[in-house]
A and B are shown apart, each in its own frame.
Chain A
Amino acid sequence: MRVTKIYGTDPKCVGCQICMITCSEVNFGEVDLTKSRVRISHKENPMDGFHITVCTNCGICALYCPTDAISIVNKNVHIDESLCNKCGVCIEVCPIDAIWWSPGLNAPNKCVACKACVDTCPTGALNAVEVDLKIDLGKRVTLRGV
């Protein structure tokens, strides 16, 4: 199965937040950086600049979702809001902390691979490629009853 992988290259990032502004605008119709699905944060040492957090569509969250709300739709690891029971397991298991709660949303906030940030990033710090999904969705782990 093919998915769109978006990835950031930290050393290229200049912290302009254009990606965050664009993401919230394109996906929610408003500039609200707390809703952005890409996040720019300072690294501990200011000399090191910024860290870009953006979902790479690895799909691990889909393995753990107890309600099977997460599946591949349009080459994207997609959370189906109607199935999501807001347990937050995906947030816990994401290895790169790319899913989070944003105020006012009905499900965890996750990148939809629209690539708007990739288009607007002025430095080429964000990129997208199409890759094969590395995990086997048949091997979903169920945490129910654990």
Chain B
Amino acid sequence: MYGWMGRILRINLTDEKIKWETLPEDLARNYIGGNGLGARILWDELKPGIDPLSPENILVFATGPLNGTLWPTSGRLHVMAKGPLSNAWGEGNSGGHFAPYLKFAGYDAIIFEGAAKKPVYLYIDDGIVELRDAKHLWGKDVWETHEILKKEIREDIRTAAIGQAGENLVRMAAIMIDKYAAVARSGLGAVMGSKKLKAIAVYGTKQINLYNKYRFYEFTYQAQRRLSSHQFSKEVKQYGTEILVDLMNEIARYPTRNFQSGYFEQYEKLSAHLLKEKYRVRDESCYACPLHCKKYNAVKEGKYKGDGGLGLEYETLNAYGGRVGNSDPEAVIYANALSNKYGLDTDDVGGVIGFMMEIYEKGIIDKEFTGGLELKWGDSDLLIKLINMITFREGIGDLMAEGTHRAALKIGGEALYYDMTVKGVDIPAQDGRAQKSMGLSHVTSNRGADHLTSGEFLSEVGWPDAIVERFEKRAKEIYGRSILPEGADRLSPKFKPLMVYDSEHLAALADSMVVCKFSTHWPPVFFFEDLAKAVTYATGYKYSEADMRVIGERIFLLERAFNIREGLSSKDDRLPERFLKEPAQTPPNKGHVVELDEMLSEYYRLRGYNSEGIPSYDRLVKVGLEDVAKYLYDM
């Protein structure tokens, strides 16, 4: 096989059996890799209705045919299982260097089944695959684990590990790649913890065979340059996602105090310019990426003094910033490093803390409930205390470790109104009232509230050139008119269903290759055609632009079918009431709510969902999922 390594590792943790399997050619060809591979494996093998934290759950680490080559941003890894937050499709994606090394070791994917009796870690070095005792690692944080494995094995080993959060089955736990990159959302760290799998350490030296090396590299060198010199790449290189704090506050799209507002009065204290000036140490890139969006921060003095580590992202600058009313950047840097060590998804943790602060403010819970804690907005010491309590499940931390949605259900009553989740997953730092396509995306995403399943960022910026390039043809086909001007207006619900629908296919494709959305979605550089070319030269299978769209849709619908099989339906495609009833307060969005029903019905129509949210039989057959259609329609 070209592009792919052609091998899958299957590890049964219960009886410690390791199996080397061949990657079936039709699977690779039709689903490419990453989320496609994982979706198919989970659909075929996972028993419906199981508890995500039971040994019956299956955890898949998957790469794609471009990983490990020079293709820009090809360092990413996709991880999937049934998610402990949503009880449905769970997935997370991370940068770093792990995926290329997994391929250098000779594997496209690893499937974990069962659960170990005592803590273990998986060691892979080319042909050597061993489950090793992890007694000395259990209880250690991610950074310590990484350092110990490096010393034990070799300097350039790559690791995927959980911290104490995953061990303690915190439903918001992430899997950390090396030290700073998180496989976040969905709570997959808890799945790894439930399997008593502390870490994976991988090293490899095999080469990846490419079908048409000459064309591939010619195209890839070009692609590197195109991405690197794109007009919007400069900002990414300079500030990474930190810059969004400034940009999102300008358009009042920055969730503040659990989405009470989209504008944080003190945002300037968290501004990217200030962070760069005061705390920036250096930049870093993932494998083969020219954008070096990851920024290393450190606090030089004061009570939060210390190594802040890499990758303070916009999401965290909101989750531990505006969302909880905190404007102390040093506390955010500290809390981010702490979360990386514990292996936590900052989005969900900030979400649940914001939720608790709000219901405390509203008098729904009191000091007796919190064990004496006064949950005040913006208390940075409290923020750090709560992160610790959640990780170790102490006091109210135990309830909070179950995630916002479960906590809200348990408290019940009025608290439910403040539960800012979709399908049990916290809404990220993207207020749908300030950008209608985001409001829709949170609902249509298969892994629960999410901005990256569609990655529809073009209307946010309102950049007509790219919008025309991406959607004009489809708009003319479907609606017989131009996508402009409404397509470029983030506050207009018009055309957003189409833009979300189409972007979801591109995103599914990016996650199957597995490349970064900082290349396909923002900056918008590589679309279906570029990916088709790259994967054609790499694998030798001829893909056209149209094939790519079908594959994107196939993967997306298979994930949706997985959710339907788990009992989800249109009733779960709902936003919190706050987004629908409580208008945004700040100009330029003043008065705006999410016109969800209007957008969702059009989206259902485009997707071919029936009123219960189930993909139509014909559509499933059309994208090559006949067996899935038969299952869903009991045939």
Q: Which residues of the partner chain B approach A32 to less than 8 Å between Cβ atoms?
A: 104, 205-207
Count of chain A residues near B, Cβ 8 A = 25
Closest to B205 in A: A34
Known contacts A16-B288, A31-B68; A46/B104 CB under 8 A: no
Q: Report 8 cross-chain contacts, Cβ distance below 8 Å, ordered by A residue.
A: A14-B285, A16-B286, A16-B287, A18-B290, A31-B68, A46-B309, A123-B283, A123-B290
Q: Are B70 and A22 neighbours in the complex by a CB distance under 8 Å?
A: yes
CA A133 to CA B224, docked complex, whole Å: 34
| Contact in complex: A17, B97 (CB < 8 Å) | yes
Q: Does A138 contact B (CB under 8 A)?
A: no
Q: Is the CB of B224 within 8 A of A122?
A: yes
Q: How far is the CA of A43 from the CA of B339 in the complex (A)?
A: 23
How far, in angstroms, from A11 to B586 measured CA to CA in the complex?
42
How far is B205's CA from A30's CA once the two chains are assembled, in angstroms?
A: 11
Given A47-B281, A47-B307: A16 and B289 interface contact (C-beta under 8 Å): yes
Query: Once the chains bind, are B104 and A33 in contact (CB under 8 Å)?
Result: yes
Residues of B within 8 Å of A103, CB to CB, are 205
Q: Measured between alpha carbons, how far is A6 from B301 in the docked complex, in Å?
A: 39
Contact (Cβ within 8 A) A122 B290? yes
* A residues in contact with B68, CB < 8 Å: 31
Complex Cα spacing A30 to B284, Å:
25
Q: A18-B224, A49-B282, A103-B205 are in contact. Are A25 and B70 (CB under 8 A)?
A: yes
Please name all residues of chain B whose beta carbon is closer than 8 Å to the beta carbon of A42 when the two chains form the complex.
Answer: 155
Specify which of B156, B208, B284, B309 is in contact with A49 (CB 8 Å cutoff): B284
Which residue of the partner chain B has the closest CB to A22? Answer: B70
CB-based closest 4 A-B pairs: A122-B290, A16-B285, A14-B292, A14-B285
A110 to B456, CA, bound (A): 47
Instruction: Tell which of B70, B156, B285, B307 touches A46, judged by Cβ atoms closer than 8 Å.
Output: B307
- How does the 8 Å CB contact mask read for B220-253 relative to A, with 1 for contact and 0 for none? 0100100010000000000000000000000000
Interface of B is mostly: loop
Q: Could you tell me the distance between the alpha carbons of A58 and B317 in the complex, rounded to whole angstroms?
A: 47
Q: Are B208 and A31 closer than 8 Å at their CB atoms?
A: yes
Please tell me if B69 contacts chain A, counting CB pairs below 8 Å: yes
User: Given A16-B286, A49-B284, are A30 and B207 also a contact pair (CB < 8 Å)?
Assistant: yes
Which residues of chain A in 1-34 are interfacial with respect to chain B, using CB atoms and an 8 Å cutoff?
11, 14-18, 21-22, 25, 29-34
Cα A120 to Cα B310 in complex, Å, equals 24
Q: How far is the CA of A6 from the CA of B469 in the complex (A)?
A: 41
Residues of A within 8 A of B205 (CB): 32-34, 103
- Whole-angstrom distance between the alpha carbons of A46 and B337 in the complex? 13
B82 at the interface (CB under 8 A from A): no
Please tell me if the beta carbons of A14 and B284 are within 8 angstroms of each other in the complex: yes
Which A residues fall within an 8 A CB radius of B? 11, 14-18, 21-22, 25, 29-34, 41-42, 46-49, 103, 120, 122-123
Residues of B near A18 (CB, < 8 A) are 70, 224, 288-290
| Bound form: Cα–Cα A103–B296 in Å | 34
Are B281 and A16 in contact, CB atoms less than 8 angstroms apart?
A: no
> B284's contact among A11, A15, A25, A41, by CB below 8 Å, is which?
A15
Residues of B within 8 A of A46 (CB): 179, 296, 307, 309-310
How many residues from B make CB contacts under 8 Å with A?
34
Evaluate whether A123 and B213 lie within 8 angstroms (CB atoms) in the complex, with A11-B282, A14-B285, A47-B298 already known: no
CB pair B282 A120 closer than 8 Å: no
Per the bound structure, the CA–CA distance linking A31 and B538 in Å amounts to: 13
Q: Which residues of B contact A33 (CB under 8 A)?
A: 104, 205
Flag if A31 contacts B207 (CB, 8 Å): yes
Distance in angstroms from B63 CB to nearest chain A CB is 14
Query: How far apart are A18's CB and chain B's nearest CB, in angstroms?
Result: 6
CA–CA, A30 and B283, complex, Å: 28
Contacts of A22 in B (CB 8 A): 70
What is the CB-to-nearest-CB distance from B337 to chain A, in angstroms, rounded to a whole number?
A: 11
Whether the pair A123, B288 counts as a contact (CB closer than 8 A) is no
Cβ distance B204 to chain A, nearest Cβ, rounded Å: 9
Instruction: Decide yes or no whether B2 CB sits under 8 A from chain A.
Output: no
Chain B residues with CB under 8 Å of A123's CB are 283, 290, 292
The answer to whether A31 and B70 touch across the interface, beta carbons within 8 angstroms, is: yes
Complex interface: chain B residues within 8 A of A15 (CB): 284-285
Instruction: Return A23 CB to nearest CB of chain B, in Å.
Output: 11
Within the complex, the shortest CB–CB distance from B293 to chain A, in Å, comes to: 10
B69 A31 Cβ-Cβ under 8 A: yes
- The one of B104, B179, B224 that contacts A120, using a Cβ cutoff of 8 Å: B224
The answer to whether B217 has its CB under 8 Å from any CB of chain A is yes
Distance (Å) between the CB of A50 and the closest chain B CB?
8
Neighbouring B residues of A16 by C-beta, 8 Å: 285-290, 292
B217 engages A25 (CB within 8 Å): yes
A72 vs B213: C-alpha distance in the bound complex, in angstroms? 31
Chain B nearest CB: distance from A116 CB in Å? 10
* Min CB–CB distance A30 → chain B (angstroms): 4
B285 touches A21 (CB 8 A): no
**Is A41 in contact with B290, judged by CB distance below 8 angstroms?**
no
Residue of B nearest to A28 (CB): B207
Nearest-neighbour CB distance to chain B for A93, whole angstroms, equals: 23
Task: Please name the residue on chain B nearest to A42 by beta carbon.
Answer: B155
Collect the chain A residues with CB atoms within 8 Å of residue B286's CB.
16
> Which A residues touch B155, using CB under 8 A?
41-42
Listed residue (B179, B206, B288) with the most chain A CB atoms within 10 angstroms of its CB: B288
